């Protein structure tokens, strides 16, 4: 809007003269807009700073919006891809377990799996698996070499494979038997190169050799301090008579300053060992002893009689005693002290001990041993698990089942100072046969309907057998 400078009239458009007073407007002067006297710019409101609490609320709200948006985005993308993959909880499937390339000291174990996984073999001379050997990880065809084995020995083994998700598959138990050493030393024969005493033959043998002993009676006390196979021609005619002068056979590592030679993996078979006793001395038909640990000794097809103890194990592990006749020894047939993971199988352990002694089998400070398929007849006690030595550990985890306890002196016929040992193999496998068991079998399943109580701390054979084990 333009205003006439003379009369104040409003001018329209590009008028050169004022329509009210007729004044000609100068070209250089533009009319100025009329202002209302009360028209004043409104004052600006004063800005107050936001409080810290309000700022925090805003920050949290923004963060929540961001999280919700992120989750929505992930869900949307997963929806585009499909459902979330399931977690792998299935162990590898193991098949085709075989043993091959068996020598006197080694074997190769092979198997396959349905997915890539690790290669592990657990093995021992019993089903109490001891050492492990490993092969290549992340494969489906597995091969593991076992070495340092004892000649002429049966080994139990099982394989394990673990996949990338940590799932482990494990096979059943398998066995193989190593070959006898091809190197032989002969004792008692008539040909050249034969030795006249067993000790001379052992001393001449190298570790891993077989010392073969011909039938006759050898009056000597023998020390084995290296890994050998000591094999008699026949149990009843190859006789070691200790002459009441010491142990029949002592298996001990060889110690000297800065050097130890192990006797681990020694194998003894087919001998009669007798007369290892003396008044006021405790001699053994066979002594297995170490200041540290001695392992993987096998004693089979031996007759041990008329000794103080038939067999004594001290700090022995993974030893197998099987198919032996252990008879008429003065104190104990077999005694274990601080010995673990050993196995006594299919032995006749009878007429051992006298009044006040242990008799059949004694365990002290010894755990995870297994006694099966043995005849324990007319001993002082059949099996006696005693209190620990001062500073020792309790005997626990021992398994005693499928044995025949017949007419041992004490009733009940076994003693267990602890309760953490098992006297049966659960139902329906059953426990042991006890000749003094008075229970009944109303359901005719071959197992007594009530437990057989073990002397001591209240342990039981929960499933006593009604008939002797064949």
Q: List, for residues 93-102, the tens digit of each pLDDT value.
A: 999 999 999 9
Range in 79-83, 113-117, 311-315, 382-386 the model is least confident about: 79-83
Segments making up each domain of the chain, as ranges: 1-33, 94-177, 184-461
Average pLDDT over residues 234-260: 87
Instruction: Give the position of tokens 């023998």.
Output: 222
375 closest CA partner among 419, 407, 399, 409: 407
The span from the CA of 351 to the CA of 330, in Å, is 9
Q: Which of 5-9, 35-39, 342-346 has the highest mean predicted lDDT (pLDDT)?
A: 342-346
Task: Tell me 357's DSSP state.
Answer: S
| 379 φψ region: left (φ > 0), alpha (ψ -120 to 50), beta (else) | beta
Structure-token pair, residue 362: 């004694």
Helices (H) and strands (E) in the chain, counts: 2, 40
Residue 271 has which token pair? Answer: 């001998």
Q: 94-177 and 184-461: same fold?
A: no
131-136: average pLDDT? 93
In the chain, the largest separation of any two C-alpha atoms, in whole Å, equals 166
pLDDT, averaged across the chain: 87
Alpha helices for 128-197 (secondary structure H): none
The tens digit of pLDDT for each residue in 330-339 reads 999 999 999 9
Residue 284 CB burial class (10 angstroms; 0-12, 13-18, ≥19):
buried
Asked if 265 and 197 count as a contact pair (C-beta separation under 8 A), the reply is no
What pLDDT shows up at residue 38?
47
- Most confidently modeled range among 42-46, 186-190, 215-219: 215-219
Under a CB-based contact definition with an 8 Å cutoff, are residues 457 and 421 in contact? no
Q: Indicate the fold that domain 184-461 takes in CATH.
A: Pectate Lyase C-like (2.160.20)
**Range name among 142-146, 190-194, 344-348 with the lowest pLDDT average:** 190-194
> Which of these ranges, 26-35, 292-301, 343-352, 381-390, has the smallest mean pLDDT?
26-35
pLDDT of residue 378: 97
37 — pLDDT class (breaks 50, 70, 90): very low
The pLDDT value recorded for residue 228 is 92
Report the C-alpha dihedral over residues 275, 279, 284, 285, rounded to 10 degrees: 10
Instruction: Give the mean pLDDT of 342-368.
Output: 94
* Percent of the chain as helix, strand, coil, to the nearest 5: 10, 40, 55
> Among 255, 328, 334, 251, which Cα is nearest to 295's?
251
Is residue 457 over pLDDT 50? yes
Q: Which residue has better confidence, 232 or 206?
A: 232
CA distance 129 to 85: 37
Residues facing 274 on adjacent strands: 241, 305
Q: What is the CATH T-level fold of the domain 94-177, as seen in this structure? A: Immunoglobulin-like (2.60.40)
pLDDT digits (tens, 9 = 90+) for 48-92: 555 666 666 766 766 667 555 565 555 555 555 556 678 999 999
pLDDT category of residue 150 using cuts at 50, 70 and 90 = confident
**Per-residue confidence (pLDDT) for residue 162, from 0 to 100:** 97
pTM greater than 0.75 (yes/no):
no
């Amino acid at each position: 809007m333009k205003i006439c400078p003379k009369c104040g009239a409003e001018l329209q458009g590009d008028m050169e003269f004022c329509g009210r007073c007729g004044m000609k407007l100068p070209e250089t002067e533009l009319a100025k807009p009329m202002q209302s006297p009360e028209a004043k710019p409104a004052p600006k409101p004063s800005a107050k700073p936001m409080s810290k609490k309000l700022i925090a609320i805003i920050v949290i709200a923004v963060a929540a919006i961001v999280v919700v948006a992120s989750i929505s985005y992930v869900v949307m993308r997963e929806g585009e891809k499909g459902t979330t993959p399931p977690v792998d909880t299935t162990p590898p499937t193991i098949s085709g377990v075989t043993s091959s390339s068996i020598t006197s000291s080694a074997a190769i174990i092979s198997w396959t799996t349905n997915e890539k996984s690790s290669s592990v073999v657990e093995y021992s001379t019993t089903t109490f698996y001891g050492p492990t050997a490993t092969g290549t990880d992340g494969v489906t065809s597995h091969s593991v070499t076992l070495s340092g084995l004892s000649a002429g020995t049966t080994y139990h083994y099982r394989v394990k494979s673990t996949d990338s998700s940590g799932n482990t598959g494990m096979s059943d138990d398998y066995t193989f038997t190593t070959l006898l050493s091809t190197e032989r030393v002969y004792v008692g024969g008539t040909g050249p190169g034969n030795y006249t005493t067993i000790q001379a033959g052992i001393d001449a043998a190298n570790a891993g050799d077989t010392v073969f002993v011909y039938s006759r009676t050898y009056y000597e006390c023998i020390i084995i301090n290296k890994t050998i196979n000591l094999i008699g021609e026949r149990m009843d005619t190859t006789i070691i008579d200790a002459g009441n002068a010491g142990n029949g056979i002592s298996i001990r590592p060889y110690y000297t300053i800065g050097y130890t030679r192990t006797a681990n993996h020694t194998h003894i078979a087919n001998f009669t060992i007798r007369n290892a006793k003396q008044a006021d001395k405790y001699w053994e038909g066979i002594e297995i002893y170490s200041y540290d640990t001695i392992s993987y000794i096998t004693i089979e097809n031996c007759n041990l009689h008329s000794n103080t103890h038939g067999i004594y194990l001290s700090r022995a592990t993974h030893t197998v005693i099987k198919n032996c006749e252990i008879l008429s020894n003065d104190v104990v047939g077999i005694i274990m002290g601080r010995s673990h993971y050993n196995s006594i199988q299919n032995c006749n352990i009878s007429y051992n001990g006298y009044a006040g002694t242990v008799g059949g089998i004694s365990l002290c400070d010894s755990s995870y041993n297994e006694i099966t398929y043995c005849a324990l007849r007319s001993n002082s006690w059949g099996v006696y698990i005693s209190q620990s030595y001062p500073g020792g550990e309790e005997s626990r985890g021992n398994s005693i089942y499928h044995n025949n306890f017949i007419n041992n002196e004490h009733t009940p016929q076994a003693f267990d100072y602890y309760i953490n040992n098992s006297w049966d193999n659960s139902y329906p496998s059953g426990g042991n046969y006890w000749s003094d068991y008075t229970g009944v079998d109303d359901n005719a399943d071959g197992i007594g309907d009530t437990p057989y109580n073990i002397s001591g701390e209240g342990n039981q054979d929960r499933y006593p057998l009604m008939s002797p084990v064949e």
